[in-house]
Structure 1
Amino acid sequence: MKMIKVLTMEGRISALILLCLVLSGVGALQVNIPQDSYEYARGDNIILPCSFTPKTPLKETDLVIIKWSDETAEAGAEENRILSYYSLNKQLDITPLYEGRVSLDVDVMKGKADLKLSSITLADNKEFQCSVQIPGDDEGKLADKARLVVLVGPSTPICKIQGKAEYGQNINLTCLSERGSPQPTYKWESRDVKNTPHAADLRTTDKGGSLSLYDISTETSGFYICTSSNKIRSATCSITLSVMPPSTNIGPTARIICGVIATLIILIIVVCCYCKKKKV
């Protein structure tokens, strides 16, 4: 029985604390952005939502000032104003940096202050803040923030062969996209000369876009495809691999032949000179 009483008392205390937290926000301005972060693809036209609830219902004659600003991820970066809106004369001031690509979807009586941003770029990877000012209503949550994450699909990867494609050699097939956010991941697949998928070789390793092939042979020949992908999209490149017999190195042989010929020419010249002197 004592345990039940203790739990009941703890429950009462928890309920009281929760009630205090709820009541602390009552009768005060509350600004809210629903999510902590938003992800969009580069080039998208987007909306960052912001809503606010005043202490008391607003009248048409009440002044409401809405501001949007941004802050880069750099340490110590300053906040930059994007726009300011004044409800009494419905005046909207936009800073030159954002002129032509931002607007405000606003309805003061409904507590709506959404930021519309067009053709986003990687430079828009920032934290955005919505703040509201109402004279006489300066307590509560006056601003809220959210991070905009701009995603970029991987660029068409470049496929290369490192090493000699000859019998018994070890080679690497490399695959790399120069652009992509978040960082792309890579996957290789291959088909033989009969367009049949290659059987998995336990000695083959695939890591970070590099496919390592060991002790290659004619069976290694075929068509190799690399897919670079992230959460936005994917792109591919391909390589045709033809494994050949080792090339014959004729350099030393050619030098030996040239040396023999040069020696013979010198001997002929010496013999001719000797014969002429003997006749004289």
Structure 2
Amino acid sequence: MASFLFWHMRGERAELASHTAMVAPGRRALWSLCVCFTALHTNALRVTMRESTAEVVRGDFVILPCSFFTSSPLSRLNIIWTLAPLSSPESPIQVIVYDHGQIIEDPSLIGRVGFTGIPWSADIMVNDTRLSDAGIYRCMVNNPPETADPGIGELLLTVLVAPSLPTCQWDGDMDAGGSVTLSCSVVEGVPTPEIHWDKLNPEEISLPINMEGELSGSVQIVNVSSQTSGLYRCSASNLLGTENCYINLSIYSAVAGSSSGILQGVLLTLSMSLMLLTLLVLMTWLHRTGQDGRRRVSKEEEEEEEEGYNEIRYTPSLMKRSFV
């Protein structure tokens, strides 16, 4: 029995070895075919984007990298860069083209875009960047007579923008017990600015904010009182900086209103008293001035009468008549 099992296992091994010998040439042929295909694929045109994303501050320049490998001469090289703007990705535009030694720029980008290493590299530079330059850029390279599909690479460009100066407004009832809403909004900023509200005095306090879209936020203050009065600040911040705007709230309470009315009444009474006192002094002065004038006139009349009496008394004619 043991002898039978030994010879049976030996026969199976022989059959397996024979099968392996028959399959080996097929495997070698398949491996050779794969190597040849890989070599052909390696020699075909291919495009490599060294970066998949890029960032630039608005107004600066940026280089968009696009490398390619080809085994054919570059006499018929064709490179096309396109942009799908973030504002309208369904409407791509042609940024710049290199075709048979000629360079064609999009009219809106003339003077702001150009190749940096043509024909050995498809890299381009965009200067004086604008917010409209942000989007998905595609680099497409074709080099006949290579019949493979053109190589295409993609890159996302983000244009960074500092927050614009925010606009602060308030709305509501400024009387005690009322409700006031503070609102703040910015026009632009990339990345989207974060908006914060703070009360600065008598101590700095961060306030809860209700976002109304990406670029605006508000704070609602209910049941306001004199303690609500103070200076409030709205801050819009992103990685490029912070911009602020301010609102100074003054809440009018009932006590303050009555005190103000009393003060106004006191001031009015004082002013009227002063006017009456001035009028009295003026009348007294006029009265005294009139009496003094009448006294001077009466004295002058008496002196004139006395002088006239003396003249009549001592006239020569009377003296003569007295001695006759």
Deviates more, 1:204-213 or 1:155-164: 204-213
Q: Contact between 1:105 and 1:116, CA under 8 Å: does it hold in 2?
A: yes
Gaps of 5+ in 1: 1-15, 251-280
Q: How far apart in 1 are the matches of 2:163 and 2:204? A: 25
Cα deviation digits, residues 125-167 of structure 1 (max 9, x gap): 3332212121233326612122333333221111112112232
Counterpart code for 1:151: L
| 8 Å contact kept, 2:136–2:156 | yes
Q: Which stretch of structure 1 is more off in the superposition, 24-33 or 152-161?
A: 24-33
Matching residue of 2:64: 48
Q: Which has the larger radius of gyration?
A: 2
SS in 2 for 1:167: coil
2:44 to 5, 23, 28: 28
- Maintained 8 Å contact 1:83/1:92: yes
Change (3 A) 1:85 1:26: same
Query: Pick from 208, 213, 216: which aligns with 2:221?
Result: 213
User: Does residue 38 of structure 1 match 2:54?
Assistant: yes
Q: 2:83 aligns with which of 47, 50, 70?
A: 70
Shift of 1:62: 4.5
- Residue 124 (1) aligns with residue 129 (2): no
The SS at the match of 1:147 is strand
Partner deviation per Cα, 1:8-32 (whole Å, 9 max, x = no partner): xxxxxxxx9xx99x94852221112
List gaps (5 residues or longer) in structure 2: 1-30, 212-216, 262-324
Q: String of CA shifts for 1:52-99, please: whole Å, max 9, x gaps.
A: 122x3x66x74422222223454653x433322256xx4323233321
Change (3 A) 1:25 1:215: farther
Residues 119 and 207 of structure 1: is their aligned pair in 2 closer, same or farther, counting only changes over 3 Å? same
1:219 deviates by: 2.1
Tell me the CA shift for residue 51 of structure 1. Answer: 0.8
Q: Cα distance, 1:107 vs. partner?
A: 4.5
**Number of the residue aligned with 1:244:** 252
**Residue identity opposite 1:65 in structure 2:** N
1:93 lines up with 2:104 in the alignment = yes
Name the structure 1 match of 2:27. none
Alignment: residue pair count: 217
Higher-strand-fraction structure = 1
Q: 2: CA distance between counterparts of 1:41 and 1:243?
A: 43
Structure 1 CA distance for aligned equivalents of residues 150 and 42 of structure 2: 11
1:202-224 deviations in whole A, cap 9, x for unaligned?
Answer: xx642122112222222222221
From 149, 155, 159, give the equivalent of 2:164: 155
Higher relative contact order (CA 8 A, sep 6+): 1
- Aligned twin of 2:188: 179
Q: Is the partner of 1:223 in helix, strand or coil?
A: strand
TM-score, normalised to structure 2, is: 0.58
Rate the CA distance shift 1:148–1:118 in 2: closer, same or farther, 3 A.
same
- Which amino acid in structure 2 is aligned with residue 113 of structure 1? A
2:112 and 2:147 map into 1 onto residues whose CA distance is 31
Residue 233 of structure 1, aligned match among 211, 234, 241: 241
State the Cα RMSD in Å. Answer: 3.1
CA 205–81 in structure 1, closer or farther in 2 if over 3 Å, else same: closer
Q: Distance in 2 between matches of 1:129 and 1:86?
A: 16
Helix, strand or coil: the match of 1:169? coil
Cα 1:171–1:117 change in 2 (3 A) is same
Q: How has the CA–CA distance of structure 1 residues 170 and 75 changed in structure 2, closer, same or farther, with 3 Å as cutoff?
A: same
TM-score in terms of structure 1 length = 0.66
Render the CA deviation track for 1:208-256: whole Å, top value 9, x for unaligned: 22112222222222221111123443211111222221457x9xxxxxx
Q: Describe the SS at the equivalent of 2:125.
A: strand
What is the alpha-carbon distance in structure 1 between the residues aligned to residue 248 and residue 93 of structure 2?
Answer: 52
What letter is aligned with 2:61?
Answer: N
